Structure 1
Amino acid sequence: MNVAITRGYVVPVVGDPIDGGTVLIQDGKIVAVGVDVEVPEGVPVVDAGGGWVLPGFVESHGHVGVHEEADGWAGHDTNEMTDPNGARLRALDAINPADLGFADALSGGVTTVVIKPGSGNPIGGQTVAVKCWGRTVDEMVIREPVSVKSALGENPKRVYGDQKKLPSTRQGVAAVIRDAFMKAQDYRAKREFAEQEGKPFDRDGTLEVLVRVLDGELPWCQHTHRADDIATALRLADEFGYRLVINHGTEGHLLADMLAERDVPVIIGPLFTSRSKVELRNRSLRNPGILARAGVRLAITTDHPVVPIHFLVHQATLAVKEGLDRDEALRTITVNPAAILGLDDRVGALTPGLDGDVVIWSGDPLDVMSRARRVFIGGREVYADGEVADPYYREGTN
């Protein structure tokens, strides 16, 4: 799709703002950003009217489409809590594009979401990055898989403890993860030997995924809140050498120096919740600022539907109020999550070569009174003043 968005206060995120700027999108990709951009003949022009023009926000940890809203148990496909090791499971296979959360995402300027299995299992499954508009999830996919979701702490130990089976303690949760990676190491060695010998080899979907983690292809998204669990996450990552991403990181500020030194990023949040369990005792809107000042690479998450996805930018706003640098706050919902999860070749900034995912705001998006007025994904307008375009409509059809 082609479109030129003109006369906007353009905030590329990577680079300085451009007053009166133009963003030119051709064939779904950004091709030029600046003041003196020549718009080719025939390209539709959208006048931003001085509104703020930003890249679509990136939600780095959500359950949109797999934990559907207003559908009760029928829409809850987040956790397959029958096997502690669910590495072979794919969030992709459970996403309903008709979930109301996708429309909410657009209304909050969110155009990309990394959808993850839940935290009921020590190893929950594979995550997927999708655009927030489309008929089928296959049309919406940016990258799959993006990472593998794992959980430490009270969720998996409660789920399996209630079933009177392993794991029912933190020892057990760590043991499940450790055993799984040891089996994956052995599996990789046997697979390599079979390939060298030219012999057949029985594949295992679970272990194939874990080998990709060991080989550095997929990061390990570790659900963890408490400082002791974060330390366990670091210990396991050191033992097996995989790329660790801390998810939630409620007490990450207590180990900020360790995380920064190891360059372990933190996807922090949700930040608008009550202290509903012991792991959230130290939840605070001040924590993002503490982590960022320590040099930790940071993204902010709603963990939708724990916090509605359209409140992503409001979490960033209140984190600024409590000490997070303003420019860094915008990075935590754009370029940072994209880079942390390997999506920065597609989304996260208004940069030539990236996807034409652009949002026109009525004003500064960090002002809670500002609204996302128009949203473009790949240059196609999918949201305008509260109305979502029908993804099932195709020009020339009834």
Structure 2
Amino acid sequence: MRKLAVSLAALAAAIAAPAAAETVAVTNARILTAGPAGEIARGTIVLQDGKIAAVGPAAQVPAGARVIDAQGGVVTPGFIAPNALLGAVEVRSLGDDLAVNNPEIGASFDVQYALNPASTLIPVARLAGITRAIVVPLSAGGGGGSFHDDDGEEVMTAGDGGGSKSSALFAGQAAAIHLAEGPEILMKPKVGMVVPFGDGGANVAGGARGAEIIALKSAFRDVRDYMRNRAAYDRAGVRDLALSKSDLEALIPVVEGRMPVIALVHKASDIRAVLKFAREEKIKLILSGVEEGWMVAADIAAAGVPVILDPLSDRPESFQVLGSTLENAARLNAAGVTVSLEGTGGAHRVRELRYNAGNAVAYGMPYQAALAAVTINTARIFGVADRVGSLEPGKDADLVIWTGDPFEPLSQPKAVFIAGKAQPMTSRQIELRDRYKDLSGPCPVAYPK
């Protein structure tokens, strides 16, 4: 017991230390690397200059390194939350910085310019082992986008529903962020172009699914014409184009296959239509939502398209998701589809990402596949796997030390490192709890005895 107390005291000291990228060695850890090394039953991981310097059963502790004895605890990569609203929303009823209703701004809308590093939601997510996130815009045209709020209900974003300019076909560009304490959280901008399909896409295109596909094809044709005739466009020497110049410019990486389309799609028939559209237009694709994805898993796997899904989305609350099931993630993974798991709501309950992964395991997804679905898979999907997503030498030192299995609700992180820096293990909620849990001592004026 004395040895354990000393170890925990050392760990507490490490957590309380100033957030600097120092040399740290975590020893006696069960390391789930989410990389080629797989699980290391008992090993050491060394963090140096913000990077992972070494990891393995025989990794050497550098002289002068701060040593944290994990006492057999679990160490994982920091989790990555896709479809997040972190840094762009605080109180949903008061609005957000994720949607725009402007006929000149659709594809060119970029969430990176409104990120708030001081959001009180970021520390809450960080305390759930989340160290990076993909922040996505929401469609504001004609109810064109949807997400599951923090009560699990599907919410359609605002709009008139009567058809709109082509700009409404595109919600805008997503960005990758880190959740480290500090004045800047942007990691990588422009990691994907969000486009609603299914009911949402039909709404922005005038009420029919087929109309949206035609409108998108027309928009992409305009982009290609613009690319061939930029000089003529500037002197008004080309035909009228439906999109603004800023939207045309924003879509060039999409039609060139450098930026993926994040397709919000749910129903099996809509998924097939989106796969066909992407194949014909030769664009890179990510499917998001895919509640009926298991029904067309072979098609998705054959196309080599990854998916993002909430494994707890199983209620047939609309005709788009009648075939939803808690086994969706397991079945897609078994078919060979690259799966990324998301937390519920994207903001206030994104912390539940690890619980969602645990539920995916409970309904048939192999444990290591679920771990990959909250780490390396998401990093690969969004083009940041060279930096994060697994515990490998040379990558950013994002890791979490857990008291037990991270997918078990009673397990808690004992330390969180982002790019080698120890993060504060507190949040506004914890601070408020500590302030008011004992009113026997000195109290604020508003709380007299």
- Normalising by structure 2, report the TM-score: 0.77
Cα distance, 1:104 vs structure 2: 2.0
Cα distance, 1:260 vs structure 2: 0.6
Cα distance, 1:156 vs structure 2: 4.4
Inter-partner Cα distance in structure 1 for 2:231 and 2:258: 17
Inter-partner Cα distance in structure 1 for 2:33 and 2:134: 21
Corresponding position: 1:184 with 2:223:
yes
1:154-165 pair list within 5 angstroms: 154-158=199-203, 160=204
Aligned match of 2:193: 148
- Given residue 200 of structure 2, which amino acid in structure 1 is its aligned partner? N
1:362–1:373 CA contact under 8 A, matched in 2? yes
Aligned match of 1:27: 49
Question: Structure 1: where are the runs of 5+ without partners?
Answer: 161-165, 196-202, 391-398
Corresponding position: 1:45 with 2:86:
no
Cα distance, 1:367 vs structure 2: 2.2
Cα distance, 1:176 vs structure 2: 3.0
When structure 1 is superposed on structure 2, of 41-50 and 103-112 the one drifting more is: 41-50
Aligned match of 1:371: 412
Inter-partner Cα distance in structure 1 for 2:269 and 2:85: 26
When structure 1 is superposed on structure 2, of 232-241 and 346-355 the one drifting more is: 232-241
Aligned match of 1:198: none
2:123–2:426 CA contact under 8 A, matched in 1? no
1:271–1:283 CA contact under 8 A, matched in 2? no
1:1-398 pair list within 5 angstroms: 1-2=21-22, 3-14=24-35, 15-68=37-90, 71-83=91-103, 86-119=106-139, 120=145, 121-136=168-183, 139-158=184-203, 160=204, 166-191=205-230, 204-269=245-310, 271-272=312-313, 274-302=315-343, 304-305=345-346, 308-384=349-425
Alpha-carbon displacement from aligned partner over 1:5-33 (angstroms, at most 9, x marks no partner): 22211111112322331111111111100
Alpha-carbon displacement from aligned partner over 1:228-248 (angstroms, at most 9, x marks no partner): 221221122112101111011
SS of corresponding position for 2:325: coil
- Given residue 174 of structure 1, which amino acid in structure 2 is its aligned partner? I
Cα distance, 1:85 vs structure 2: 6.5
2:120–2:428 CA contact under 8 A, matched in 1? no
User: Structure 1 residues 143 and 97, CA, compared in 2 at 3 Å: closer, same or farther?
Assistant: same
When structure 1 is superposed on structure 2, of 232-241 and 74-83 the one drifting more is: 74-83
User: Structure 1 residues 246 and 72, CA, compared in 2 at 3 Å: closer, same or farther?
Assistant: closer
User: Structure 1 residues 168 and 83, CA, compared in 2 at 3 Å: closer, same or farther?
Assistant: farther
Inter-partner Cα distance in structure 1 for 2:318 and 2:118: 32
Inter-partner Cα distance in structure 2 for 1:235 and 1:25: 45
Inter-partner Cα distance in structure 2 for 1:59 and 1:262: 24
Inter-partner Cα distance in structure 2 for 1:365 and 1:280: 30
Cα distance, 1:59 vs structure 2: 1.1
Inter-partner Cα distance in structure 2 for 1:157 and 1:186: 25
User: Structure 1 residues 4 and 387, CA, compared in 2 at 3 Å: closer, same or farther?
Assistant: farther
Inter-partner Cα distance in structure 2 for 1:328 and 1:73: 36
Cα distance, 1:325 vs structure 2: 1.2
**Pair member with larger Rg:** 2
Cα distance, 1:146 vs structure 2: 0.8
Alpha-carbon displacement from aligned partner over 1:298-320 (angstroms, at most 9, x marks no partner): 11112533771111111111111
SS of corresponding position for 2:100: coil
Question: Structure 2: where are the runs of 5+ without partners?
Answer: 1-20, 140-144, 146-167, 235-243, 432-449
Cα distance, 1:43 vs structure 2: 2.5
Cα distance, 1:328 vs structure 2: 0.6
Inter-partner Cα distance in structure 2 for 1:364 and 1:238: 41
